[in-house]
Amino acid sequence: MTRRLLALLAVALGLAVVLLLARGHRDVGYVRDEGIYFHASRAYADWAARGLQSPAVLFDRAARDRAFAVNHEHPALMKLAGGLSARLFSAPGPEGQAPETRAHPGLLPLMPEGAAMRLPAQLLAGLGVALLFLAGAGLARTRRPVLGDISSANPASRADLSSGASKPASAAGVPAPASGPSAPPADLSSETSKAASVAPDSPPLASPSTDDLATALPLPANLSLGAPQLPSQDPAVSLSPLIPAVLAALWFIGLPHVWVHAGLHCFDVPVAVLTLAVVLCYRRALASWRWSLLLGPLLGVAISVKHNALFIPVLLGVHYLACLALAGRRPSRGQLLPLPFLSMAVLAPPTVLALWPWLWSDPLVRLGEYVEFHRLHAYYNTEYLHINYNQPPLPWSYPFVLTWATVPTALLLLAAIGLVLAVRKDLSSRPSADLPPVRFTAPLRGHPARDGLLWALFGLFPLVLISLPTIPIFGGTKHWLTAYPFLALAAASAYVTLWRALAPTGRARHLPAALLPLLLVPALWSTIHGHPYNLSQYAPLAGGARGAADLGLLRGFWGSAVLPLLDDMSQRPGPLYLHDLHELARLQYEREGRWPPGLAAAPLSRARAGLLFHERHMLSNEVDLWNHFNNSTPVDVLTLDDVPLTSLYAGSK
């Protein structure tokens, strides 16, 4: 499998995901937060368009603040991108509506305005899938166990990964790896020849490319389970890179809760993808000044998507310090002030500033407001095991149980095995004794990559953070989606490691590929079946939506499960009580001609029909509907596997 073919497959898979999201999510209703983001996106894009026509507008503080004051508690990047996407691809709204309540046609009117605004997030989801595919493919390699490009020229630097001691491979009785016939062609990379031709501590000649990402998180050679090593280049144990590539990519995007968030005009999957991108970049930056220079701006972009990214440099710092400590030698001066961290410290802040025009005036004051908003975030209501939580502490088990309930157990088990094996290896491996002197531009060149520590830090931190008793209650699984790409890579790593250790021969050598569907189908089944209500979908062992209702887990939120009720709503007398459907989301339907004409929204006291999105605490609103209509029988109920998601009530009033 050539690197080019892998890259093409990654792009194809990413594009397929984008196409499926773009089409499939037209059946997913607009969630509460999207309503305000749509509104903000139009304001931001309008400012940008006016700025293009007359650059003076960009520096007009009043005009800028007017545009970016809308939803200024979140960075502007995704909303700006969504607004610009609408200006490019939005289809016009229905004729006859007032211009302010009608979608404006874009330059290439291909899709409804809301779908166009969702497109940038969907493109990022596609990018994430492609990155995972490439990084997953890299796990099939048996080469490059160390950072930078000297490893392939230095077989002795391969650690014995079985016992924890750092020994040359030959000393452990393991045949020295060679570029044997079974090595994937991708291993015969230019980096091998580069390594032979350049000084070990020289920066790599290649600039960052997609190609490099395929090797961004490789599996160290022959990660053992504690017994004598198998020859890592044994043809019998060679695995197609497609296997871990597909496993990593689908582990992530195949999950119902990832899928549903991936298609929304929101920030959760985009920030998960950018976290992955920053980590992949960091890993390269430890041995390359070019990647270091990219790292800072990339982190800035990630922070400009959502505040979760503010934790990235902290976690990278922990990983870096762990690498230095585990190296077992005194750090050099260059290692104490490494370029990757300098880049993040110096280049990320101006990137954030540049991408968030709200901060251009009074940046410190407004940053302070931003931090305070999230520090003092309002508590959401969330149901957990039949209890409604709306004040801390949330039980520490909450994110872990919710993860189990929404991710198939076999995939989680594989990820856990991958983390244990990789961390155990990372803690025991040492750099070879003949490391060249390092520079601050490549502070860990020649060191073991310690990918397991990276996966563990980024795969567990979001869950641990949410489990802390003092953390505000934010709600559902979307708040720790940033962990999933790393759990996906850990799972793919485990799959490769275990099959390599098992070393099947004969017809059994096809088992790793043949059994892949066994692992992935439960997740894909769950997602396909749950569409377009995957916010309410649960894993098979949790019993799906019905099982979750029995267990007392949250049903859904955001008021998005409404589209199939629109027909029924159009036949009811208005006005309509919207409940958790945000008025701005309703306006978006109206702008696109999807809202029943003439059906106005009203408070319950004046309503003649009403929506109810079922959650434990929403019972309060449901009994209000019963009292108002003097009737507790809904006229229509939207369900997922018998579980009510949304009810439509109507009365004679």
Partner 1 sequence: MPLDATRRRAAILLGLVGLVAAVEWIAAARAYRSLLAPADWDAAAAALAALPPDEPVVLADDWLGPVARRHLPALQRSLGRPDLHGAPRFHVLALGEPLTPDLRADLDELVPEPLGVDDLGPLALHHFAAPSGHVLWDILDPPALLTPDGAGACRKVQRAWVCKQGRATVRHAEIAYRPRRCLAVDMNDGAAFELRGRVELGARLRGHLGFSDFNGRLRNDAPAVLELELDGVPRARWLISDSQGWAAFELATTPGPAELTVRVTTLLAGTFTPGGYDPDTRRVPCLDLRALTEPA
By CB under 8 A, name the binding residues for partner 1. 224-230, 381, 386, 388, 390-391, 408-410, 413-414, 417, 494, 497-499, 501-503, 515, 518-519, 521-522, 525-526, 529-530, 538-547, 549-550, 555, 612, 614, 616-617, 619-620, 622-623, 626-627, 632-634, 637, 639, 641-644, 647
Cβ closer to partner 1: 166 or 526? 526
The answer to whether the beta carbons of residues 258 and 248 sit under 8 Å apart is no
Q: How many C-alpha atoms does 569 have within 13 Å on its Cβ side?
A: 29
Contacts (Cβ under 8 Å, ≥6 apart) of 79 = 37, 40, 41, 44, 71, 265
Contact 216, 284 (CB under 8 A): yes
Nearer to partner 1, 169 or 549 (CB): 549
Smallest gap from residue 404 Cβ to partner 1 (A): 12
| Nearer to partner 1 among residue 391 and residue 605 (C-beta) | 391
Residue 201 DSSP SS3? coil
Q: What is the Cα–Cα distance from 34 to 79, expressed in whole angstroms? A: 10
Token pair 């310690």 in the structure block, residue? 450
For residue 279, how many C-alpha atoms fall within 13 Å in the half-sphere facing its CB?
A: 35
Which CB atom, from 82 or from 559, has the smaller least distance to partner 1? 559
Q: How far is the CB of 628 from partner 1 (least distance, A)?
A: 10
We find the least distance from the C-beta atom of residue 278 to partner 1, in angstroms, to be 30
* 3-state class (DSSP) for residue 261: helix
Q: How does 473-511 read in b/e, with b if 16+ C-beta sit within 10 Å?
A: bbbbbbbbbbbbbbbbbbbbbbbbbbbbbeeeeeeebee
Query: Least separation, in Å, of the C-beta of 391 and partner 1?
Result: 6
Please compute Rg for the chain using Cα positions: 26
Rounded distance between C-alpha atoms, residue 610 and residue 647, angstroms: 8
* 576-577 vs 609-613, strand pairing mode: parallel
Whether omega before 575 lies within 30 degrees of 0, making that bond cis, reads: yes
Closer to partner 1 by CB, 244 or 544: give it. Answer: 544
Three-state secondary-structure class, residue 648: strand
CB of 365 to partner 1, least distance (A): 21
Least distance to partner 1, CB of residue 144, Å: 23
Please state the length of the chain. Answer: 653
Beta carbon nearer to partner 1, 503 or 563: 503
| Choice between 33 and 636, CB closer to partner 1 | 636
Distances in whole angstroms, Cα of residue 221 to Cα of each of 182, 185, 238, 557, 599: 14, 16, 11, 45, 64
HEC states along 76-93?
CHHHHHHHHHHHHHECCC
Task: Give me the least distance between CB of 162 and partner 1, in Å please.
Answer: 8
**Of 396 and 525, which has the nearer Cβ to partner 1?**
525
The closest alpha carbon to 601, from 613, 611, 616, 612, belongs to 611
**How many whole angstroms separate alpha carbon 67 and alpha carbon 79?**
12
Q: Nearest approach, Cβ of 514 to partner 1 (angstroms)?
A: 11
Comparison of 361 and 627: residue with beta carbon closer to partner 1: 627
3-state secondary structure of 173: coil
Cα–Cα distance, 167 to 429 (Å, whole number): 9
Residue 575 CB, nearest approach to partner 1 (Å): 22
Token representation of residue 457? 């830090």
- Of 115 and 247, the one with the shorter C-beta distance to partner 1 is 247
97 versus 409: smaller Cβ distance to partner 1: 409
Q: How far is the CB of 520 from partner 1 (least distance, A)?
A: 9
- Minimum distance of partner 1 from residue 568's CB (angstroms): 13
Contact present, 153 and 37 (Cβ < 8 Å): no
Nearer to partner 1, 70 or 503 (CB): 503
Angle, helices 516-530 vs 544-551, to 10°: value is 80
Torsion of CA 406, 407, 413, 417, to 10 degrees: -120
Q: How far is the CB of 173 from partner 1 (least distance, A)?
A: 13
